[in-house]
Structures are given as C-alpha cells and as structure tokens.
Amino acid sequence: MYAPPVQRLITELSRLPGVGGRTAQRLAFHLLRASDEEALALARAISEVKERIGLCETCFNLADGSSCRICADERRDPEVICVVEEPSDVISIERTHEFRGRYHVLGGALSPIDGIDPEDLKIAELYERVRSGPVREVVIATNPTTTGEATALHIAAGMREIDPNVAVTRLASGLPVGADLEYADELTLGRALVGRRAV
C-alpha cells in the first residue's frame, strides 16, 4: 500500500508498546507532515539516548555516565535501599517525594514460566550491596502481581540469610484514594485490612 520507507516506518513504530497498526500509521503520517527539523530532532534524540544512556554501576537505574543522579546525591540515605523491578518504577516513587534513600533496579521479576530465574535479575548484586555496606532497611517495591510477589518473597528469604539485622519491608497495598468498597476485589480489601494503621 505504501512506499517501502513509509511501510518500514509504520512497522517500526508499531513495535512500540501500546502502539497498534493504526496508531503507528497516524504517527508515521504525522512525521511525514512535520518539518525536517522536527523529524530530525526526534531522530537525533533517539540516537543520543541509545548512545549515552546506560545503567548505573551501583543501582542499575538509567544513568548518563557511571552513576545515576540518585546514587551521586550525597543527601540520599545510603542505608535504606528501595528495590524495584524497572527504572520506570524509580520515577513513580520519586514523584511521591516521600522516599529519601537509594534504589536497586532488578531489571524485571522472577517468572520461571518465561525463563526468568534469579540469575537473570540483579538480585546477587543487591545481596552484595547489603554485605559490603551498612544497610539498615531494604524496602521491596516490586509490583503486586504474582511475579512481583514471588520476587519479593525470594529476596526477603535471601536477606534473612545474609543479614537478619536488616529490616526487610514491603510496600503497603490496599484501596486507592477515592475508591468505593463495593468495587474492591477481595484480595485488595483483605490486604487493606491486614495493613491497617492507627489514625
């Protein structure tokens, strides 16, 4: 239907998460209508991010150099480590302005069905961080999914073996603000009851 370069652009855009064939087609035609400067600016931004951005040597967050900005920040508490699955989770937690420690990005979650074992994640590196430095708390902030829960349990068991004095905590889960009880599923409501606190 389209000239080969246009079809190739649509195909590549449709590989992006959340972008289907029609959205890829709309994006491709938007880029064709855009000025050369706009289109080339996008191409340069993609090229630059692929060339310059890597993983932090300490926490495996995205970094422009050997350390991410959070690990380089001396004001952050190095004795509290928040364990997350992906770099995007760091951004979500940072938006709350509630956490002042440092992070450890696993690079996914345990999923034996998908062939993701502990060796495929940055779990050994987390244990090494705890062994080598004074750490008083590890906050496990994996997703509340079956794979996230399995990962949290695995890490908690490993932490008890490495240093039983390190507090291992899990993010609370429960009802979102503004939700009605009648629409909450049993598991969410049950966790909200178990995780209740004094007012």
When pLDDT is averaged across residues 1-10 and rounded to a whole number, the result is: 91
The confidence score (pLDDT) of residue 94 equals 95
Give the chain's domains with CATH numbers.
4-52 (1.10.8.420), 74-170 (3.40.1360.10)
The confidence score (pLDDT) of residue 189 equals 84
What's the pLDDT tens digit per position in 67-90? 999 999 999 999 999 999 999 999
**Over pLDDT 70: what percentage of the chain?**
100
Contact between residue 87 and residue 62 where contact means Cβ atoms under 8 Å apart? yes
- H runs (alpha helix) in the chain: 4-14, 21-33, 36-52, 69-72, 87-94, 123-132, 146-162, 186-194
Can you give the pTM of this predicted structure?
0.83
User: At how many degrees (to 10) do helices 146-162 and 123-132 cross?
Assistant: 30
Q: Which of 43-52, 133-142, 179-188 has the lowest mean pLDDT?
A: 179-188
Distance between CA atoms of residues 156 and 112, nearest Å: 18
First to last CA, the chain: 63
Distance between CA atoms of residues 167 and 138, nearest Å: 6
Judged against a pLDDT cut of 90, whether residue 56 lies above it is answered with yes
Beta bridge partners of 168: 138
Mean pLDDT of the chain: 92
What's the pLDDT tens digit per position in 11-31? 999 999 999 999 999 999 999
What's the pLDDT tens digit per position in 91-110? 999 999 999 999 999 999 99
Residue 60, both tokens:
């495996």
Judged against a pLDDT cut of 80, whether residue 179 lies above it is answered with no
What's the pLDDT tens digit per position in 117-142? 999 999 999 999 999 989 999 999 99
**Predicted confidence band at 176 (pLDDT cuts at 50, 70, 90)?**
confident
